[in-house]
């Protein structure tokens, strides 16, 4: 007889495992199905271990500039194996943490590959063979994987995805990064800090193209100053892989072609949802326009009892968005099963922050200035540079700024965009503000602690209304 549950979650990434925990908290008998490692890509191969790598790069960068702080540090070298080992140790620790959370919340874990065979039925194939599980509700949280370049499929030797870039067998000497979204720029930043000759190629007219144009321009300037080569409006042509190098032809924005040898290439051109071979077609589950699974604001698909969250549905494709969706979906399921104490709210994508952990860091929430103008808003925009902030100067990190975008008619905070030291830790202030539907008046009247870099957030708001003090 098949094991029966209230809810089965297919995939244990930050969407899946959080959703399972919330289901269990709400008294639902819950199981999770995972084919690789609990925690998914984010915890094992993405968000967390990359931050461990980037921290090593950041420390390396600071050591190289010790003289700027009146300190001496000579003969600084990187032990690549030790750096990678530290990163993997962080991932392992968190993997054990998620395993512990499954036990604590009495969630049954089935290791294997899951496939929906009918509404409420899931077939799991693992080391022990095939078993059938049944549930009133199934949540698909299968995530996504790196998109391959058709002309240069990743082999783990010379051509890498993020997974290979995290556990390199050797330090690259000359690295090409194709794509300048968060993943591409983070790895470019890490390897550049480690002393590698790095080139970034981006087909759009600017790097980190989803960010505000001022942020893109500032980042490009900073990365070039750090020794990186940046090529925008550029296209990658022929890629010829050899034993010792990869020969790549790059057409620049003027149409000029140049062929260069790189020791390694990282392909970071986006993601593909993991929606193959999980039974979507058999159940006639509707896809959206980008081959992701189509859902409503609560995660419902067009098939009753089947839900989907995270990177396999509409973006932004971020871990914290997946976790939030996971909680919403769990509560919506509990509500359908008769729980009158939960009141889920549909996801508001305008209030989801994005963070990029390059050097300098980037963080943003809401509309860029350009998007707000396109939407027809009359704007009040304020920018405050870190060079006017005492704490940033004292830290030796005066490069950066905060930009805030307001609706001139209502004072609504439409967007906030930051680049510089520790901005990924500060953006939540604006996210809380947006969620509370704040206006400029509340932000102006908020007392920010001194000395902190966060004071630049206050000054940026004041600047939008011509009231900035320190510029």
Q: Catalytic: which of 110, 417, 450, 470?
A: 450
How many angstroms separate the most distant Cα atoms in the chain?
72
Identify the residue whose tokens are 């004071």.
Answer: 455
Tokens of 397: 């990190």
Nearest 5°: phi and psi at 348? -105, 105
Alpha-carbon distance 301 to 213, whole Å?
A: 36
Of 146, 125, 147, 124, residue with least CA distance to 134: 124
Alpha helices in 337-377 (DSSP H): 369-374
Alpha-carbon distance 74 to 55, whole Å?
A: 20
Alpha-carbon distance 419 to 396, whole Å?
A: 15
- Residue 241 · residue 207 · CB < 8 Å: no
Alpha-carbon distance 266 to 179, whole Å?
A: 9
450 included as an active-site residue: yes
Tokens of 414: 């439409």
- Residue 173 · residue 197 · CB < 8 Å: yes
Alpha-carbon distance 429 to 448, whole Å?
A: 11
Tokens of 184: 């591409």
Beta-carbon contacts of residue 242 (< 8 Å; ≥ 6 apart): 158
- Residue 3 · residue 108 · CB < 8 Å: yes
Alpha helices in 141-233 (DSSP H): 162-166, 182-193, 213-225
Alpha-carbon distance 336 to 304, whole Å?
A: 11
Tokens of 376: 């027809």
- Dihedral angle of Cα 255, 261, 266, 268, to the nearest 10 degrees: 10
Residues noted as catalytic: 450
């Amino acid at each position: 007889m098949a094991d029966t549950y209230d809810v089965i979650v297919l995939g244990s990434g930050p969407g899946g495992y959080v959703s399972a925990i919330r289901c269990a908290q709400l008294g639902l008998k819950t199981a999770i199905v995972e084919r690789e490692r609990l925690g998914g890509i984010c915890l094992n191969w993405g968000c967390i271990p990359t931050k461990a790598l980037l921290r090593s790069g950041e420390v390396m960068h600071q050591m190289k500039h010790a003289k700027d702080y009146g300190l001496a540090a000579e003969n600084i070298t990187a032990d690549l194996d030790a750096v990678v080992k530290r990163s993997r140790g962080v991932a392992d620790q968190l993997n054990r943490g998620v395993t512990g959370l499954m036990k604590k919340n009495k969630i049954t874990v089935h290791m294997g590959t899951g496939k929906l065979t009918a509404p409420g039925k899931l077939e799991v194939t693992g080391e022990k063979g095939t078993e059938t599980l049944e549930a009133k509700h199934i949540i698909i949280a299968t995530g996504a994987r790196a998109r391959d370049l058709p002309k240069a499929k990743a082999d783990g030797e010379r051509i890498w995805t993020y997974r290979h870039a995290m556990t390199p067998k050797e330090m690259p000497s000359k690295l090409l990064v194709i794509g300048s979204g968060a993943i591409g720029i983070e790895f470019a930043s890490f390897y550049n800090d480690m002393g590698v000759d790095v080139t970034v190629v981006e087909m759009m007219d600017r790097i980190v193209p989803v960010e505000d144009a001022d942020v893109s321009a500032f980042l490009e300037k900073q990365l070039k100053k750090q020794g990186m080569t940046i090529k925008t409006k550029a296209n990658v042509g022929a890629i010829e892989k050899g034993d010792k190098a990869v020969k790549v032809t790059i057409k620049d924005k003027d149409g000029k072609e140049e062929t260069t040898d790189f020791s390694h290439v990282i392909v970071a051109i986006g993601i593909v949802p993991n929606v193959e071979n999980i039974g979507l077609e058999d159940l006639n589950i509707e896809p959206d326009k980008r081959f992701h699974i189509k859902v409503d604001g609560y995660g419902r698909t067009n098939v009753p009892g089947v839900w989907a969250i995270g990177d396999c549905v509409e973006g932004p494709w971020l871990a914290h968005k997946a976790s939030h969706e996971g909680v919403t979906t769990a509560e919506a399921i509990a509500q359908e099963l008769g729980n009158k104490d939960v009141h889920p709210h549909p996801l508001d994508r305008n209030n989801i922050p994005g963070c990029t952990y390059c050097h300098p860091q980037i963080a943003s929430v809401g509309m860029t200035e350009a998007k707000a103008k396109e939407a027809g808003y009359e704007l009040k925009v304020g920018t405050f540079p870190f060079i006017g902030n005492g704490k940033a100067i004292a830290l030796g990190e005066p490069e950066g700024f905060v930009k805030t975008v307001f609706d001139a008619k209502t004072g609504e905070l439409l967007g906030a965009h930051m680049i510089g030291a520790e901005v990924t830790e500060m953006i939540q202030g604006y996210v809380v503000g947006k969620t509370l539907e704040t206006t400029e008046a509340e932000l102006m009247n908020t007392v920010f602690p001194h000395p902190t870099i966060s004071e630049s957030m206050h000054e940026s708001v004041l600047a939008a209304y011509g009231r900035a003090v320190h510029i």
